[in-house]
Amino acid sequence: MLPDATYSIVRHLERAGQWDLALGQLGESDPNLRAELVAERFFWQGIPADPAVINAADPDRALLLRARISYNHRLFKLEGGENLDEAAIFAAAPGGWAAFWHGVVQDNVHGDTEKANASYARALELAPDDRFLESYAVRHLGANAMETDPARGLALLRRSLNLRAALGARPQTAAAQLALAHFVGDDDPEAKELREIALATAAELRLKWLLANE
């Protein structure tokens, strides 16, 4: 079993966007956490996730990570992804994070905002004390609210940013800054400041998809 102190260090480094250092601290122990780190690094930095590392996790967790990786390939139009039914996999899994990822797939792959919002709300209900998950769910709920209720949408986007900053989640904070800048509008001085700060973080941490989108 991984010592509590090492686990805390690994998670801290993960939140800081230092996946290589986190993996170095982890070594070959805890294949579940190792697989999660590799999948996260793939999402943010585009470093391919070794299938052997993913499949070394418990079968249920490995399937969820494979679904996330498959979604990443689909979202960013990358070659070599598995042809999985990500929505079905996430819908069949328990827990708030699975509900959240089901919503993301409905949002960005199937274009079904109503189902997506229902899944985000369910994620919040299933894990009311998980502030990190909340930062993800309200960021998507906020973006989806911008057309019908921009005041609520901006409030949710700001909450996502504030939660991520408080949790020390640097990659996620940069993503939240760029999302808020997009909806605040190019003419607002705040948007320029948000982009400058976020892109400096993205360059430092080599956050490939954030840099590609700007």
Q: Which of 50, 57, 55, 49 is nearest to 31 (CA)?
A: 57
Query: What 3-state class would DSSP assign to 70?
Result: helix
The verdict on residue 35 lying in a domain is no
pLDDT at residue 186, as a whole number: 82
Angle at 208 between CA 37 and CA 47, to 5 degrees: 45
Identify whether 204 is part of a domain.
yes
| 69 vs 39: CA distance, rounded Å | 7
Please report, for the domain that includes residue 209, its CATH number. Answer: 1.25.40.10
- Walk along the chain (214 residues) in steps of 10 and give the mean pLDDT of each run: 86 97 93 98 97 97 98 93 96 98 97 98 98 98 97 98 98 98 92 97 97 80
pLDDT of residue 182: 96
| Interacting residues of 54 by C-beta distance below 8 A, sequence separation 6+ | 35, 38, 39, 62, 65, 66, 69
- What lies within 8 Å, CB to CB, of 181 at 6+ separation is 190, 191, 192, 194, 195, 198
The H or E element spanning position 149 is none
Residue 21 belongs to a domain: no
Q: Looking at the domain assignment, is residue 183 inside a domain?
A: yes
The conformational region for residue 163 under phi > 0 = left, psi -120 to 50 = alpha, else beta, is alpha
Q: Are 173 and 44 in contact (CB under 8 A)?
A: no
Q: Does residue 47 fall inside a structural domain? A: no
Contact indicator for 40, 14 with CB cutoff of 8 Å: yes
Q: Is residue 32 part of a domain?
A: no
Count structural domains, the chain. Answer: 1
Q: What is the pTM of this model?
A: 0.95
Is 193 inside a domain boundary? Answer: yes
